[in-house]
Amino acid sequence: MLIIMKTDAKPEEVDQVIDRIASVGLGAHLSQGEERVVIGAIGEGKVALQYQDLFIRMPGVDRIVPISRPYKLASREFSPQDTVFPLDGVSIGGQGIVIIAGPCSVESRNQTLEIAQAVKEAGAHALRGGAYKPRTSPYSFQGLGEVALEVLAEVREITGLPVVTEVMAPEQVPLVAHYADVLQIGARNMQNFTLLHAAGESQKPVLLKRGISATIEELLMAAEYILSHGNRRVILCERGIRTFETSTRNTTDINAIPVLKSLSHLPVILDPSHSTGHWQYVTAIARAAIAAGADGLIVEVHHNPEQALSDGAQSLKPERFAELVAQIKAIAQAIGRDLATPQTSATQIQIPLSQRVE
């Protein structure tokens, strides 16, 4: 339930409510609005509501509002306003569309730097690149691990682009969080609950991908795990779901975008690369996502997709990515939005491309 404080509630009255929430074994989540404080008293199912009489007559309390959804902190009821937070100076979840782009996997320093510079020039706001790769086959390229994290950190220094990279196991969270700006939790790990707890505890922004066969409600419940640790910086990502259709790798659930936006206050982005699996369809579906209300995109880009160590078939060449960005800008403007303003603090040092990781 939500405990809505009066506009003139005193700080000590807020503290008394928080203490009482703790004393009945519920979690207290404070939300400081422009006019008043709202406190979420969160427990399982309808349990919290049993205690409403304990709070209604406390000094400073205006009213109690139940949260009807099973996910509480992720729900629009908890926060009618959109969650907006900065990614290295670029706001995500606000009016501006944020574009994250880069290779599926970090293959070498040279490859990552070259792609990062190209996507930055085209207007990307953040760099993606996998260091730990969840591959269907154990014989496929598994990622360069910590070496790749070092490459990403160095490329961030050079380009100024914040880094999004996947973390696959709870014990990897401290290491990945040390290098990355955003922790990606992949589709295959959306319900890895120990990983969700660890990502929540890390307090780093988390890009949470929808599971291959997960419902929208399951995605929001997964987000709730992260939020329940007080980590409010969660980005929801639709990346296509498994259906009977085989013409594309997955089926883009465009519906999920307006549905998530209405059920939750969290930023919602689309991954048109994994949702289609073919570079030919990526731009069309990216346009559709922005038209449908997505707050951003995560797109795979590679200079030489034929040689890519993972997901070459769905990777855009930099020139095509630049066209995508231009089209996204036009669509954003047509619906009263725009691309997010890129931050300008990048250090433009050119590093010789001959220094390779391998």
- Does 130 help bind ligand PEP (rule: CB under 6 A)? yes
Q: Which is nearer to Mn ion, 181 or 311 (CB)?
A: 311
Q: Which residue is nearest to Mn ion (CB)?
A: 104
Partner touching 134 among ligand PEP, Mn ion, none, CB below 5 to 8 Å by kind: ligand PEP
Q: Binding of ligand PEP at residue 301 (CB under 6 A)?
A: no
Binding status of residue 295 toward Mn ion by CB under 5 A: no
Q: In which region does residue 162 sit, left (phi positive, over 0), alpha (psi from -120 to 50) or beta (all else)?
A: beta
Residue 238 interacting with Mn ion (CB under 5 A): no
Residue placing its CB nearer to Mn ion in the complex, 85 or 141: 141
For CA atoms 86, 89, 339, 275, the dihedral sign is negative
Q: What share of the chain is helix, strand, coil (3-state, %, to 5)?
A: 35, 20, 40
What lies within 8 Å, CB to CB, of 7 at 6+ separation is 35, 36, 62
| Interacting residues with ligand PEP between 220 and 279 (CB under 6 A) | 239, 271, 274
Closest distance of CB 164 from ligand PEP, Å = 9
Among the candidate windows 21-29, 88-96, 184-192, 346-354, which touches ligand PEP by CB under 6 A?
A: 184-192
Span from 5-13, 27-35, 81-89, 186-194 in contact with ligand PEP (CB under 6 A): 186-194
How far is C-alpha 208 from the geometric centre of its chain's CA atoms? 5
CB of residue 48 to ligand PEP, shortest distance in Å:
33
Q: How far is the CB of 276 from ligand PEP (least distance, A)?
A: 12
> What residues between 100 and 119 interact with Mn ion by CB under 5 A?
104
Bridge partners for 101 per DSSP: 127, 299
State the amino acid at position 39 in one-letter form: I
- For residues 293 and 97, the answer to whether their CB atoms sit within 8 Å is no
Q: Which of Mn ion, ligand PEP, none lies near 123, with the C-beta cut-off 5 to 8 A by kind?
A: none
The residue type found at 19 is D
Nearer to Mn ion among residue 192 and residue 276 (C-beta): 276
Dist. CA 120–CA 159, nearest whole Å: 8
Is residue 199 within 8 Å of 226, Cβ to Cβ? Answer: yes
Query: At its nearest, how many Å lie between Mn ion and the CB of residue 249?
Result: 10
- Choosing among Mn ion, ligand PEP, none, which partner's interface includes residue 186 (Cβ < 5 to 8 Å by kind)? ligand PEP
Give, in order, the Cα–Cα distances in Å from 299 to each of 125, 263, 351. Answer: 12, 25, 24
Exposure string over 180-207, b if 16+ CB within 10 A, otherwise e: bbbbbbbbebbebeebbbbbbbbebbbb
- Positions 299 through 328 that interact with Mn ion (CB under 5 A): 311
316 binds ligand PEP per the rule CB under 6 A: no
Closest to ligand PEP by CB, 79 or 252: 252
Which H or E element spans position 90? strand 90-92
Q: Which is nearer to ligand PEP, 166 or 224 (CB)?
A: 166
Binding region for ligand PEP (CB under 6 A): 104, 130, 134, 186-188, 209, 239, 271, 274
